[in-house]
Amino acid sequence: MLLSFVDALRHLPREDAITFGLFLFVLSWVYPRRIVSLPPVGYRRTTLLWAGTAGSLLVVAVATVVSAHAVPVWGGSGFDGWWRRPAPLVAATLAVAVAGLALRRAPLPAPGERAISARRAWHTFASRVLLWVSGITATLVAVTALWQIAIATSAPKDSPVFGLVPEYTTLPIYMRFNNGYGYVAGAGWPNHLVTLIAIAIAIAVFFVVLRADVDRPLFARSSAPSVRVERESTAWLFGLILLAGLITTLGAVWMHTGFAGTSMVGLDVQSVSGNRPDTRILINGGYSAIARPMNLAGYLLQGTGVAVALRIAIDTVRAAHRTRRTTANVPEAQERTARVSR
**Is the separation of the CB atoms in 209 and 238 below 8 Å?**
yes
Range of the domain at 166: 13-341
The structure's pTM equals 0.86
pLDDT digits (tens, 9 = 90+) for 118-164: 678 899 999 999 999 999 999 999 999 999 999 999 988 888 887 77
b vs e for 270-280, b when ≥16 Cβ sit within 10 Å of the residue's Cβ?
eeeeeeeeeee
Q: Is residue 310 part of a domain?
A: yes
Q: Is residue 8 part of a domain?
A: no
Q: Is residue 195 part of a domain?
A: yes
Residue 97 has what pLDDT? 97
Q: Is residue 4 part of a domain?
A: no
Q: Is residue 6 part of a domain?
A: no
The total number of structural domains in the chain stands at 1
Q: Is residue 7 part of a domain?
A: no
* 3-class DSSP assignment, residue 313: helix
**Other C-beta atoms within 10 Å of 207: how many?**
12
Residue 284 has what pLDDT? 59
Partners of 268 in the β-ladder: 280
Residue 326 has what pLDDT? 63
**Is the separation of the CB atoms in 342 and 74 below 8 Å?**
no
pLDDT digits (tens, 9 = 90+) for 84-99: 999 999 999 999 999 9
Q: Is residue 64 part of a domain?
A: yes
Specify the pairing of strand 161-162 against strand 182-185.
parallel
Q: In sequence order, what DSSP letters do the residues of 153-195 get, joined into one string?
A: E---TTS-EESS-----SSS-EEEETTTTEEEES-SHHHHHHH
Q: Name the amino acid, one letter, at 165.
A: V
Q: Is residue 2 part of a domain?
A: no
Least confident span in 7-21, 133-147, 154-168, 265-279: 265-279
Q: To 10 degrees, what angle do helices 288-341 and 56-70 make?
A: 160
Q: How far apart are the first and last CA of the chain?
A: 55
pLDDT digits (tens, 9 = 90+) for 170-222: 899 988 877 767 888 889 999 999 999 999 999 999 999 999 988 776 665 55
